[in-house]
Copies of this chain bind each other. A is one copy, B any other.
Amino acid sequence: MSSLFDKIGAELRRGLVQIAALSLLRERLYGYQLVKVLAASGLETEEGTLYPLLRRLEKQGLLTSEWDTQGSRPRKYYRLSDDGIDALPRLEALWSEISEAVGVILQSDGLVALAEANSK
């Protein structure tokens, strides 16, 4: 059972982590900072989950990255690209829309009857 549960949970998290990361990367952050901020906000995400998503978002053109080699170890910083800045409000609107829908569904028992009534 727990593996089935984990699978759906993992998929859901992956979608949400992408939106959350894009939102946070209005500021320039390196990967591990992002892990910390996500965790502090209640969205625990392993580095092994986050880093491939960051690379993919960069490949899609929503993020840019640069290496900072000034410190004791090199760090890869990410931030929103111009396309990412354009996309963010639309992603936030999408999030509002579908999270509201899911909230309604989870909290209601009478939806099926309602939808059937509407479709007649």
Which residues in A have some Cβ–Cβ distance to B below 8 Å?
1, 4-5, 7-9, 11-16, 18-20, 23-24, 26-27, 29, 33, 36-43, 60-62, 83, 86-87, 90-92, 94-95, 97-106, 109, 111-112, 114-116, 118-119
- Shortest Cβ distance from A25 into B: residue: B112
- Shortest Cβ distance from A84 into B: residue: B4
- CB-CB under 8 A for A83 and B4, given A18-B11, A41-B105, A100-B42: yes
Counting from the closest, the 5 A-B pairs by CB-CB distance are A12-B15, A42-B101, A40-B115, A43-B101, A37-B115
Assuming A4-B87, A41-B111, what are 6 further A-B pairs, CB within 8 angstroms?
A: A11-B18, A20-B102, A33-B112, A41-B105, A42-B104, A43-B98
Do the beta carbons of A112 and B27 come within 8 Å of each other?
A: yes
